[in-house]
Amino acid sequence: MFVTMSLRWRLRSTMIAMLLLGVLLGWGSGLAVGEVGLFSGFLALLLVLANLWLEAQIVRPVERLREQALKVASGKIQQVDLMNRGMKSARSCAPLTSSG
């Protein structure tokens, strides 16, 4: 199952498991029903925000890198665009050549 699961859904399934664990811990700690609901809602909001941030910081760049690697491997493009990871400018690498 985890072999074919995308990175995006691996991240989401982790967040869902953390939410379920948090709800169980809140319920198991003796909170009242309303308090468990409030706690669960706050935890869900926090996990959704964390998921959105992690998708923007990790999942989307990895997906772009994967798409570019597939294009290079299939021969559709001959030059690689470097990802801008906070540097002043992104530049392109020289065309790929086989050595040997």
pLDDT tens digits, one per residue of 76-92: 877 777 766 665 545 55
- Collapsing DSSP states into helix, strand and coil, what is residue 81? strand
The pLDDT score that the predictor gives to residue 16 is: 96
Q: Is residue 93 part of a domain?
A: no
Q: Is residue 92 part of a domain?
A: no
Domain encompassing residue 46: 7-74
pTM of the model: 0.70
Taken as a whole, the chain contains a residue count of 100
pLDDT exceeds cutoff 90 at 94: no
Number of domain units in the chain: 1
Q: How far apart are the first and last CA of the chain?
A: 41
Q: Which of 46-50, 59-63, 83-87 comes out lowest in average pLDDT?
A: 83-87
Cα dihedral 44, 46, 47, 48, rounded to 10, equals 80
The pLDDT score that the predictor gives to residue 56 is: 94
Q: Is residue 50 part of a domain?
A: yes
